[in-house]
Amino acid sequence: MSITKPSLATLAGLAVLLAGVSVVMIFFVAPEDADQGLSQKIFYVHVPIALTAYAAFGLGAWKALRLLLTRGERYDLESYTGIHQGTIFGALTLITGSIWAKASWGVWWTWSSNQLVLFLVLFLFYCAYFMLRFSIEPGPRRERISAVYALFGVALIPVSFLAIRLASDFIHPTVFTREGPQMTGEMFAAFCCSWAAITLLAYVMYRTELAGKRTDLNLRALREALAR
């Protein structure tokens, strides 16, 4: 029996379906948090988005490593798209985190959320990735330098996190604390559903963007060939 790979459209449809189910679960199934009330619901979106961003950066770095080790042509675009998706989801992490902070503590930003600060540093780092990439002429040099930078990124993630922890330990004593959610069964179910939906959505976006970029590249190559 053969297993057919689901088409992109199917996956997109599935993602929308899962998103719908998640919304239902978040608002109607998971109990409301005693302390934070309705604003706590943002957690179901914020954390999966953050996790997805990490995964995307990891994917970008993995493809970058493959590029450096094998010189395969496809890896550059895949690495770039991964980093791009990671940056988008990173920006969303910052936005949802900011909204959550406003809803919880009344401020749009706080330095006491380690994850938020980490994403700020990473966001800066990966924005510089694009500046670097588009300052170099297309070609193997650009591919390799982008790949090395992507690898530095994943090394930076744990090191930065440690640094921020150390900084908050002493330099910036925490003002706001938030109890990690002790999740009940329903909360966990809602979380997992949401996580699955967002991951699937990210994957669909990744594949779509990659296909678009590949088409662009082929079109340009075709034009060059015709112009001769």
Partner 1 sequence: MTDYLADVAALARKDLRLELRARDTLPAMVLFVVATLVVFHFALPGGAGDDAAYGLLWVALVFTSLLGLGRAWAPETEAGALDGLVLAVSDRSTIWLGKTLAALAFLGAAELVALPAFALFFAPLDGPALAGVALASIGLCAVGSLVSAMAAAARGREVLLPLLFLPLAIPLVVGGVGSSISPDPGTYLAFLGLYDAVFAILSWAAFEYVVTE
Partner 2 sequence: MAEVVVRARGLEKRYGSHPVLRDVAFELAPGGTLVVTGPNGAGKTTLLRLLAGLAAPTRGSLEVAVERARIGLVGHEPLLYRELTALENLDLYGRLYRIDERRERIGMLLERFGLWDARHQRVSSYSRGMTQRLALCRALLHQPSLLILDEPHSALDAEGASLLDEELAALAGGHTVVVSTHDPERLAPFASARLELERA
Residues that bind partner 2 (CB under 8 A): 71, 137-140, 217, 220-221, 224, 228
The nearer residue to partner 1, 8 or 128, going by C-beta atoms, is: 128
Nearest distance in Å: CB 140, partner 2: 7
What's the DSSP call for residue 37?
A: B
How would DSSP label each residue in 30-62? SPPBTTTBGGGGGHHHHHHHHHHHHHHHHHHHH
Q: What angle do CA 115, 120, 121 make, to 5 degrees?
A: 100
The nearer residue to partner 1, 39 or 112, going by C-beta atoms, is: 112
Buried b or exposed e, range 115-126, using 16+ CB within 10 angstroms: ebbbbbebbebb
Q: Is 147 near partner 1 (CB under 8 A)?
A: yes
Q: Is 173 near partner 1 (CB under 8 A)?
A: no
> Position of tokens 């930078």?
149
Closest by CA position to 174, among listed 83, 124, 110, 87 = 110
Q: Is 70 near partner 1 (CB under 8 A)?
A: no
Count, residues near partner 1 per rule CB under 8 A: 32
Q: Is 170 near partner 1 (CB under 8 A)?
A: yes
3 state DSSP class of 214: helix
Q: Is 144 near partner 1 (CB under 8 A)?
A: yes
Both tokens of residue 181? 């959610």
Q: Which of 17, 24, 38, 159 binds partner 1 (CB under 8 A)?
A: 159
Catalog residues that contact partner 1 under the rule CB under 8 A. 68, 121-122, 124-125, 127-128, 131-132, 135-136, 139-141, 144-145, 147-149, 151-152, 155-156, 159-160, 162-164, 166-167, 170-171
